[in-house]
Structure 1
């Protein structure tokens, strides 16, 4: 089957034989990257659903999750950004909103994956966001036609056979070399968590750890994942240095948290502003990256003067962020990862262990009063 194109529009691409029989295209035409995102995202949400028993959703961009979440509580910031008011949402829509709100700037034009059949509520919500496609195990009557109207009729809709069992061996060809490996089928459960430092893990902490490990399994390595209350709040993907992963995930988590400051959350932007533009202004203010031109543009948008948090207030608010679980796909080689993590509200670190300086990692966790659990399970993904 021919694809729209490969990694780039100049590259032709196709699916060999009938290898995609378990993935139906109900609407649209996919590129290779669309398929890579959809297939990785589906594996993440399906595994999260099995491991936690909760409805799961993911927002993928360039073969890594921008966000992933289980169904849970929607806070005031989420409700403000996505125009939800006080309305209640079903578990599927709630899971996706939480996944997208982790890093909504990166989720712009995402591939969505959800663990349950798509209902009308989620389809209506997706009409308000910029997305390239979705993969799910099914769709309610009329939903595919509704989704198909997105992107001027080019929206991509995949249906996955939830009972499909993949081959035990994976293969890829790189520069003429055919490489094979066993599929990574090790179950990710709370039983993997071996406490090294700190108190015994609560059920909530174990769930966050399990979700973080599953997200890391489908994130480009090196990777570090920050999880809080059943949702990612920062993903540091594809970095050569692990401490850079930690810093990147931490910066995203802090931006997520600062978006919850009333001075940023309640920015009096025009009511008709699209949700993505509204959240982009929040992110620019939270990350303190406004250019001079943007400051002038924002001043023109605001109907009245508005007090933004100054540096001292931003620092005070940032210190209140806590309860974050850090999951690393590989062992932490140096204590600088822990020192950085402590600056971003991490209270539990989960890593495979095995570093030569493993004792220094435990010592650093003890100094910062951070719990440490090891799994003996590396989760590299390339």
Structure 2
């Protein structure tokens, strides 16, 4: 179905990208332009004929622009059903002229949020008239075209040219769907922000919103469709990253890169260089070093088999030395806060290798929400922002850990936070030497981690696995002593775990019997 040609358009935009060219094209097609405030001034200064909305309504803008389009002559023009005798009589009685095209983008609330604006500034960036007009036009999409972003200007003009100045129902319906989604995402950002300001951890209604960042070829598997959306949150990571090179990121790439970078951020770059290698959302090697190259080599040594085709995350600017080492094996993604020119040139030789720079590290102590869907709804929780450096470690065995053991215990628990539960991490000298993840039994995780360490040692030509003399971290308590026995068999000398089991005394007694040092954190890190 094609409507009559567009005769009148109302334009009111904060983002004036492409505005003048679009408005000029409409005017050349005989469309009368109505506009507001700064948009009207911009059009007039460009020499375009424009009617100020105040002339349309008979009322001036008032209250610092808060009230300008909330008027029957605006909303009546948008909502009137063409061809309906009652609606058309009302229009005639009240001198309401039809508005066939609405072009509105909203006050930049999300941009104010991104710059951490003051409370009053945030409030002033909440648009009222814009969403009201958008929703009205979108509701009446049988007759009205609504445009909420400059990216759609060309499509509207092309549709008009193909339909004698009118538009197709298909275009109007698509743009109306986008319009409702845009206002929903906008309101979601406002609601989330204001709930936080009000201290409401569990508001009665929780809205989620985002803008399409990237359509993806498929999801976790080829038969699943997928896309990546950016929310209004400003946490550095995959959503803020710039891809400098490499083929298109996949759903799994994005998920794994996020997991890797969140763990890399646990290591203060001012203190130490750190490298994380992730495969299927679990770290298979993590290490500190004097340089990124050293950290990468040590992380790779933990499980070089799993590292093939993995994600590499760094906590400092990627340099040439690190880049040379990383490109020696097949790697899917490198992510870092930045990359120097020499490193970019080295990575460029691997045309499919994705290189992402994020502009910063996320704060491991930062607030935020973690969201997961379930059938019929979704689960929301605050981010796990407990950091081992902030925890008071309690020695529960007769032997206290040495300073070297204590440093490794903190390192291992830092990593265990990011390993799928049940998680066991062996560490030695600031590097993982064995990781066991995602098992139904904690003792199985301990054995798998030890087995991987043995395989890595054999591949490196070592006489014994590096779990001999290592420390071990568990993301939750040992429910039985058998998990600890597996760690003892692997050669661990010290243990860090949350504690809190009914059998803590039994586990502590077994550690004392074996001469191990054990500390409790009082905090667990389940990651399902």
Q: 1:349 is matched with which residue? A: 495
Structure 1 residue 148: deviation in Å?
3.2
> In 2, Cα distance between the equivalents of 1:358 and 1:37?
35
Long gaps (5+) in structure 1:
73-90, 266-316
1:38 paired residue among 240, 244, 257: 257
What's the secondary structure of 1:47's corresponding residue? coil
Q: Which runs of 4+ in 1 moved over 3 A?
A: 17-21, 163-167, 256-260, 317-321
Structure 1 residue 145: deviation in Å?
4.0
Contact 1:190-1:207 within 8 A present in 2 as well: no
Matched length: 307
CA displacement, residues 89-125 of structure 1 (integer Å, 9 cap, x when unaligned): xx11000110011000011111000111111111122
CA displacement, residues 272-291 of structure 1 (integer Å, 9 cap, x when unaligned): xxxxxxxxxxxxxxxxxxxx
Contact 1:221-1:329 within 8 A present in 2 as well: yes
2:413 paired residue among 199, 213, 225: 213
Contact 2:347-2:353 within 8 A present in 1 as well: yes
Relative to structure 1, the CA distance from residue 4 to residue 210 in structure 2 (aligned partners, 3 Å threshold; closer, same or farther) is: farther
Structure exhibiting the larger radius of gyration computed from Cα positions? 2
Relative to structure 1, the CA distance from residue 227 to residue 33 in structure 2 (aligned partners, 3 Å threshold; closer, same or farther) is: same
Give the alignment of 1:14-53 within 5 angstroms.
Answer: 14-17=227-230, 21-28=239-246, 29-49=248-268, 53=271
Contact 1:56-1:69 within 8 A present in 2 as well: yes
Q: 1:175 is matched with which residue? A: 375
CA displacement, residues 325-358 of structure 1 (integer Å, 9 cap, x when unaligned): 1100010011111221111110001110011111
Q: 2:322 is matched with which residue? A: 122
> In 1, Cα distance between the equivalents of 2:225 and 2:391?
45
Q: 1:6 is matched with which residue? A: 219
Q: 2:59 is matched with which residue? A: none
Q: 2:181 is matched with which residue? A: none
1:158 paired residue among 356, 367, 378: 356
> In 1, Cα distance between the equivalents of 2:307 and 2:228?
26
Q: 2:273 is matched with which residue? A: 55
Q: 1:255 is matched with which residue? A: 455
Contact 2:399-2:516 within 8 A present in 1 as well: no
Q: 1:284 is matched with which residue? A: none
Structure 1 residue 9: deviation in Å?
2.3
Q: 2:339 is matched with which residue? A: 139
2:473 paired residue among 320, 327, 332: 327
Q: 1:279 is matched with which residue? A: none
CA RMSD of aligned residues (A): 2.1
Contact 1:257-1:321 within 8 A present in 2 as well: no
Q: 2:288 is matched with which residue? A: 70
> In 2, Cα distance between the equivalents of 1:140 and 1:202?
39
> In 1, Cα distance between the equivalents of 2:288 and 2:475?
20
Contact 1:22-1:164 within 8 A present in 2 as well: no
> In 2, Cα distance between the equivalents of 1:354 and 1:164?
30
TM-score by length of 2: 0.55
Relative to structure 1, the CA distance from residue 26 to residue 320 in structure 2 (aligned partners, 3 Å threshold; closer, same or farther) is: closer
CA displacement, residues 3-60 of structure 1 (integer Å, 9 cap, x when unaligned): 343111222221224566422222231111111111111111111236x921110110
Which segment drifts farther, 18-27 or 237-246? Answer: 18-27
Structure 1 residue 161: deviation in Å?
2.8
What's the secondary structure of 2:421's corresponding residue? coil
Q: 1:288 is matched with which residue? A: none
Which segment drifts farther, 34-43 or 12-21? Answer: 12-21
What's the secondary structure of 1:200's corresponding residue? coil
Contact 1:224-1:329 within 8 A present in 2 as well: yes
> In 1, Cα distance between the equivalents of 2:434 and 2:239?
34
